[in-house]
Amino acid sequence: MSTPCYCGSGKDYAECCEPIITGKISAPTAESLMRARYSAYCVKDLDFLRRSVSEQDGYDEDAVRDWADSSVWNGLTIHSVKDGQESDKSGEVEFSAEYEYKGQKLTHRELSYFSRQDGNWIYTHGRVRRGNETVRRESPKVGRNDPCPCGSGKKFKKCCGRA
Protein backbone atom coordinates (compact mmCIF):
# COMPACT_ATOMS: atom_id res chain seq x y z
CA MET A 1 0.00 0.00 0.00
CA SER A 2 1.46 3.36 -0.98
CA THR A 3 1.42 6.44 1.21
CA PRO A 4 1.48 9.91 -0.36
CA CYS A 5 4.54 11.83 0.78
CA TYR A 6 3.88 14.25 3.61
CA CYS A 7 5.82 17.00 1.82
CA GLY A 8 3.11 17.38 -0.84
CA SER A 9 5.31 16.45 -3.80
CA GLY A 10 2.66 14.10 -5.20
CA LYS A 11 5.09 11.14 -5.01
CA ASP A 12 4.88 8.14 -2.70
CA TYR A 13 6.62 8.61 0.64
CA ALA A 14 8.77 5.50 -0.04
CA GLU A 15 10.10 7.12 -3.23
CA CYS A 16 10.34 10.73 -2.05
CA CYS A 17 11.40 11.64 1.50
CA GLU A 18 11.74 8.25 3.19
CA PRO A 19 15.06 7.29 1.46
CA ILE A 20 16.55 10.66 2.52
CA ILE A 21 15.29 10.36 6.10
CA THR A 22 16.54 6.78 6.48
CA GLY A 23 19.93 7.67 4.99
CA LYS A 24 19.63 5.41 1.94
CA ILE A 25 20.32 8.44 -0.28
CA SER A 26 21.53 11.99 0.29
CA ALA A 27 19.22 14.87 -0.49
CA PRO A 28 20.15 15.99 -4.02
CA THR A 29 18.99 19.60 -3.48
CA ALA A 30 18.33 22.02 -0.64
CA GLU A 31 14.61 21.85 -1.42
CA SER A 32 14.60 18.05 -1.16
CA LEU A 33 16.27 18.32 2.27
CA MET A 34 13.66 20.91 3.31
CA ARG A 35 10.87 18.57 2.21
CA ALA A 36 12.49 15.63 4.04
CA ARG A 37 12.82 17.70 7.21
CA TYR A 38 9.09 18.52 7.07
CA SER A 39 8.27 14.84 6.52
CA ALA A 40 10.56 13.92 9.43
CA TYR A 41 8.43 16.10 11.70
CA CYS A 42 5.35 14.25 10.41
CA VAL A 43 6.82 10.80 11.14
CA LYS A 44 8.61 12.05 14.28
CA ASP A 45 12.10 11.01 13.13
CA LEU A 46 14.09 13.12 15.61
CA ASP A 47 17.36 11.41 14.71
CA PHE A 48 17.14 12.68 11.10
CA LEU A 49 16.19 16.17 12.26
CA ARG A 50 19.30 16.25 14.48
CA ARG A 51 21.58 14.83 11.74
CA SER A 52 20.39 17.35 9.14
CA VAL A 53 21.38 20.52 11.04
CA SER A 54 24.85 22.05 11.03
CA GLU A 55 25.20 23.35 14.60
CA GLN A 56 24.47 20.67 17.17
CA ASP A 57 25.22 22.85 20.23
CA GLY A 58 22.19 25.09 19.54
CA TYR A 59 19.90 22.13 18.82
CA ASP A 60 17.16 21.76 21.45
CA GLU A 61 16.03 18.15 21.14
CA ASP A 62 13.34 18.51 23.82
CA ALA A 63 11.75 21.46 22.00
CA VAL A 64 11.91 19.61 18.67
CA ARG A 65 10.35 16.50 20.25
CA ASP A 66 7.57 18.57 21.85
CA TRP A 67 6.81 20.35 18.56
CA ALA A 68 6.78 17.07 16.60
CA ASP A 69 4.76 15.14 19.19
CA SER A 70 2.24 17.87 20.00
CA SER A 71 1.52 18.90 16.41
CA VAL A 72 -0.69 17.62 13.63
CA TRP A 73 1.06 18.48 10.36
CA ASN A 74 -1.41 19.61 7.69
CA GLY A 75 0.72 20.62 4.72
CA LEU A 76 3.85 22.17 3.30
CA THR A 77 3.98 24.98 0.74
CA ILE A 78 7.25 25.95 -0.92
CA HIS A 79 7.12 29.67 -1.80
CA SER A 80 10.55 30.16 -3.35
CA VAL A 81 13.86 28.44 -3.94
CA LYS A 82 17.11 30.26 -4.57
CA ASP A 83 20.11 28.18 -5.63
CA GLY A 84 20.50 24.91 -3.70
CA GLN A 85 20.79 22.73 -6.79
CA GLU A 86 23.13 19.76 -7.13
CA SER A 87 26.01 21.95 -8.35
CA ASP A 88 25.54 24.74 -5.75
CA LYS A 89 27.29 25.14 -2.39
CA SER A 90 24.41 26.96 -0.69
CA GLY A 91 20.70 27.54 -1.09
CA GLU A 92 17.61 29.16 0.35
CA VAL A 93 14.07 27.79 0.59
CA GLU A 94 11.12 29.84 1.77
CA PHE A 95 8.22 27.70 2.96
CA SER A 96 5.06 27.59 5.05
CA ALA A 97 4.09 24.62 7.21
CA GLU A 98 0.44 24.40 8.25
CA TYR A 99 -0.08 22.59 11.54
CA GLU A 100 -2.21 22.32 14.63
CA TYR A 101 -0.38 22.72 17.93
CA LYS A 102 -2.29 21.78 21.06
CA GLY A 103 -5.57 22.34 19.19
CA GLN A 104 -4.69 25.69 17.62
CA LYS A 105 -4.31 26.02 13.82
CA LEU A 106 -1.03 27.77 13.02
CA THR A 107 1.32 28.52 10.14
CA HIS A 108 5.09 28.49 10.42
CA ARG A 109 6.65 30.53 7.59
CA GLU A 110 10.42 30.51 7.33
CA LEU A 111 13.25 31.40 5.02
CA SER A 112 15.67 28.49 5.52
CA TYR A 113 19.35 28.51 4.63
CA PHE A 114 21.28 25.41 3.57
CA SER A 115 24.88 24.61 2.74
CA ARG A 116 26.66 21.64 1.29
CA GLN A 117 29.08 20.01 3.75
CA ASP A 118 31.11 16.98 2.73
CA GLY A 119 28.81 16.57 -0.28
CA ASN A 120 25.59 16.58 1.80
CA TRP A 121 22.99 19.31 2.17
CA ILE A 122 22.68 20.61 5.75
CA TYR A 123 20.17 23.04 7.27
CA THR A 124 22.27 25.90 8.69
CA HIS A 125 19.66 28.29 10.05
CA GLY A 126 16.30 29.88 9.38
CA ARG A 127 14.56 33.19 9.71
CA VAL A 128 10.90 33.10 10.72
CA ARG A 129 8.81 35.28 8.43
CA ARG A 130 6.06 37.41 9.94
CA GLY A 131 3.10 38.81 8.04
CA ASN A 132 4.00 42.46 8.66
CA GLU A 133 7.57 42.55 7.39
CA THR A 134 8.96 45.75 5.96
CA VAL A 135 8.61 46.00 2.19
CA ARG A 136 11.61 47.47 0.44
CA ARG A 137 10.89 49.04 -2.94
CA GLU A 138 13.20 48.35 -5.85
CA SER A 139 12.10 51.57 -7.56
CA PRO A 140 11.06 55.00 -6.26
CA LYS A 141 7.52 55.42 -4.95
CA VAL A 142 5.04 56.74 -7.51
CA GLY A 143 3.52 60.08 -6.48
CA ARG A 144 -0.17 60.90 -6.88
CA ASN A 145 0.48 63.39 -9.67
CA ASP A 146 3.13 61.32 -11.46
CA PRO A 147 2.28 59.56 -14.72
CA CYS A 148 0.81 56.12 -14.05
CA PRO A 149 3.44 53.38 -14.47
CA CYS A 150 0.91 51.24 -16.39
CA GLY A 151 1.44 53.48 -19.44
CA SER A 152 -2.13 54.77 -19.74
CA GLY A 153 -0.98 58.41 -19.97
CA LYS A 154 -3.18 59.37 -17.00
CA LYS A 155 -1.97 60.61 -13.64
CA PHE A 156 -1.47 57.84 -11.10
CA LYS A 157 -4.28 59.20 -8.87
CA LYS A 158 -6.76 58.97 -11.78
CA CYS A 159 -5.67 55.50 -12.87
CA CYS A 160 -4.09 52.65 -10.85
CA GLY A 161 -3.83 54.80 -7.70
CA ARG A 162 -7.62 55.18 -7.48
CA ALA A 163 -8.76 53.56 -4.24
pLDDT, one tens digit per residue, over 63-94 is 998 888 899 999 999 999 999 999 999 999 99
Assess if residue 163 is contained within a domain: no
3-state secondary structure of 86: coil
User: Alpha carbon of 103 to those of 41, 99, 107, 109: distances in Å?
Assistant: 17, 9, 13, 19
How many domains, in total, are found in the chain? 1
Q: What is the spatial distance between Cα 99 and Cα 106, in angstroms, rounded to a whole number? A: 5
User: Alpha carbon of 101 to those of 17, 42, 82: distances in Å?
Assistant: 23, 13, 29
pLDDT, one tens digit per residue, over 122-152 is 999 999 987 655 556 666 777 878 887 777 7
Assess if residue 6 is contained within a domain: no
Q: Look up the pTM and report it.
A: 0.78
Domain with residue 92: its CATH number is 3.10.450.50
